[in-house]
Structure 1
């Protein structure tokens, strides 16, 4: 397995990285937002709030 940061051979102590430096580089990328998981959310905050209210109304008016 090679280091995902620099492609050198990994060190079992820092796996999957080759060194503490590469592990820290990866952590820095997570912390500054370089890595992100895409989300499917409404573009408009007002649209999201309306959708949530509609969902809550449907739940409260369901069969009893």
Structure 2
């Protein structure tokens, strides 16, 4: 029996990273909620942005 492969999480772009930072800084949403709000994102990708491992130089968006 062949194992099912899940589709990979979409790549996070600088624009999406800015939205993640905006939502994290201005709402009470947790990382999983932000991932769900922005579509098919993996919570792990949100974590990388929030904790400064990715897109360190990208500022938070001005608004959504």
- If the length of structure 1 is used for normalisation, what is the TM-score? 0.30
Structure with more relative contact order (C-alpha pairs < 8 Å, separation 6 or more): 2
Q: Higher Cα Rg: structure 1 or 2?
A: 1
- If the length of structure 2 is used for normalisation, what is the TM-score? 0.30
